[in-house]
Structure 1
Amino acid sequence: MQLETSVEGLSAQLTKLEKRVVDAEERITVTEETTAAHGKAIGFLLQRETELVERCEDLQNRARRQNLRLYQVPEGSKGRDMVTFIKKLLPTVLTDLPLKEDDIRIDRAHRALMPKPKENDPPRSIVIRFADYTVKEQILQQAWKQRTVKMGERQIYFDNDYSPELQRKRAQVRYVVKQLKQKSIKAKCLCPARLRMSVGSEEITFQTVMDAVPVLQDLNMQFRKRNTKYQEEEKP
């Protein structure tokens, strides 16, 4: 009688354990399905985030198309009005510029929005927004064609006004180009932030620096995979 009672007790406990195991398996199945669904949702959201970031980046650079950056102009050169200063400066330093002062319509011009540098630090760049995109392009192309543009004894530089992210990418490409040239390998940074370099007897264009990593590693180059810190006042 006592043995039967013990067996019945064990049977009841086993039944409870089986039920708990079944419940646990069901919960695990639900959790796995939920986790898989969440994984798909996260993957989709990450993809959408990447697409939206790229769109915002593109829109930001499109909004800057009428802007131009001027580097290495000494602090305190503008006088009272930056716009008037720039309109007088451009025809002076760009000797073959086919534009008169009245043709250069500028909406606004100002120093880069950052603290004023110390005495021996590089001056802040000047951001210039032109009323006409074609005028901006004429000025930029003339500056690049002239190559050496001097304000007095000081060389100044012209470039597009890129977004911070694109500036970072271009700085990374320039870092690689500098290393390649030290190895006597032809290379240059293409717009917006592509790398063109000589590989054997041909020239190859890489859309990003990361695409060029296998080739750079074959050249025993110390490539920094982390983002190259962009210095706003770095000479283009």
Structure 2
Amino acid sequence: MANTSKGKTDMDPILREIREFRLENRKQFDVLKEDILKVNVRLDEAENRIERTEERVGNAETAIAEMLKLNTELLNKLLDLDCRSRRENIRIYGVPEGAENDSPSMKQFVEQVLHSGLGLADKELDLNIERAHRSLGPTPPKGVPPRSILVKFKNFLTKETLLRRAWQGKGFVWNKNHINVDHDYPPMILKKRKEYAEVRKVLKEDRIPFQTLFPARLRVRFKEETKIYDTIEEATDDMAKRGYNITTIRPPGTTLEQIQRLQWTKAERLTTRDNINTGRATSYKERLRAFRRTPSPSSEK
């Protein structure tokens, strides 16, 4: 009995410490539980905000896509109007800077150049030039190609007749200068036509006949067929497949194409969160049993 009472007396401090430890843990877990509940509330609010933001972003992307389509249509119409406003215009390339200084006006100078270069008789064709001037911009330095001369006719048929005659002779020579005549294209079309520079160079080297069509297409007469390319990307891709040494150009992705490729998916909302007590498969007593002292072999003897 004495040993039993002595054993209980020895265990009392341990049990008391365990009780205090459990009480302290319970208080700490209550604080953690309260903090977790607050976090859960804030997460619910964040999920609601994200869901509303996703909806607004989706609506914004739809609106932007529609606006980009409308913008493209308006740009095409604007380009068409710009081309129509230049229907009576031509550009003359290769006339040296200052060659017009001795003439009373640019209009009379252009008439003289066209009559002389194209071999027009005085009364063969009334040019009816409304106005003529150098392209806008500063005078280029020596060694740089001269600015083109912009000419506007009163009659569209006059312009077409002059262009046809100039193209038949692939331009003309005036005062030992090779002069070219072409349509007055808008800057956007000029930019697209210049993109074919490398393609035209390769075709010229291989002596393959080609023709640049309006607005920015290329007709190539290969031995086996005649091919018309609508874009520089299509031309370089096809010619590379035919074995020509040319850099393949990939079409740049527009903003509209990027938006259309986006696959916006909403995140699934979580259901009611698991109870914070889930996972406590064992009680404190069961966990503490793992620390129970096992009697040593020497003490059993």
**Alignment TM-score, normalising by the size of structure 1:** 0.83
How far the C-alpha of 1:17 sits from its partner, in A, is 2.5
Q: Of 104, 113, 118, which aligns to 1:94?
A: 118
Q: How many residues align?
A: 226
In structure 2, the gaps of 5 or more residues are 1-21, 253-301
**Partner Cα distance (1:98, 1:193) in 2:** 36
Aligned partners of 2:93 and 2:149 also within 8 Å: yes
Partner of 2:108: 84
String of CA shifts for 1:178-215, please: whole Å, max 9, x gaps: 21232344433222210122456111111111222321
Deviation sequence 1:37-93 (CA, Å, 0-9, x none): 112222222222222222222211111111011111122222230011122332222
Matching residue within 237, 242, 247 for 1:222: 247
One of 92, 109, 117 as aligned partner of 1:70: 92
Report which structure shows greater RCO (CA 8 Å, sep ≥6).
1
Where 1:195 maps in the other structure, the secondary structure is: strand
**Residue in 2 that maps onto 1:32:** 54
CA distance in 2, matches of 1:185, 1:149: 23
Deviation string, structure 1 residues 150-190 (Cα, Å, up to 9, x no partner): 21322211100111111111122243122123234443322
- SS of 1:107's equivalent in the other structure is strand
Letter in 2 for 1:165: M
Which residue is equivalent to 1:234? Answer: none
Pair 1:99–1:206, CA change in 2 (3 A): farther
User: Hey, what's the Cα distance between the residues in 2 that align with 1:165 and 1:34?
Assistant: 35
Report the counterpart of residue 151 of structure 1 in structure 2: 174
- Once residues 171 and 22 of structure 1 are traced to their aligned partners in structure 2, the CA distance between those partners, rounded to angstroms, is 57
Q: TM-score, normalised by structure 2?
A: 0.67
- Tell me, yes or no, if the aligned pair for 1:97 and 1:139 is still in contact at 8 Å: no
Match of 2:151 in 1: 128
Q: Higher mean Cα deviation, 171-180 or 33-42? A: 171-180
Determine if contact 2:115/2:121 at 8 Å carries over to the other structure: yes
- Does the alignment pair 1:194 with 2:217? yes
CA contact (8 A) 2:140 2:146 kept: yes
Identity %, equivalent residues: 33
Q: 1:110 to 1:179 in 2, by over 3 A?
A: same
- Between the aligned partners of 2:221 and 2:162, the Cα distance in structure 1 is 31
Change (3 A) 1:175 1:59: farther
On the 8 A contact 2:199/2:236 being kept in 1, the answer is: no
Alignment correspondent of 1:58: 80
- The 8 Å contact of residues 176 and 223 in structure 1, kept in 2 or not, is answered as no
**Residue aligning to 2:64:** 42
Instruction: Flag the 1:205–1:55 CA change in 2: closer, same or farther, 3 A.
Output: same
Change (3 A) 1:116 1:154: same
Question: For the Cα contact (< 8 Å) 1:166–1:192, is it kept in 2?
Answer: yes
Which has more strand, going by share of residues? Answer: 1
* Change over 3 Å in CA distance of 1:156–1:7 after alignment to 2: closer
What corresponds to 2:142 in structure 1?
119
Compare CA radii of gyration and give the structure with the larger one.
2
Change (3 A) 1:63 1:128: same
Structural RMSD (CA): 2.7
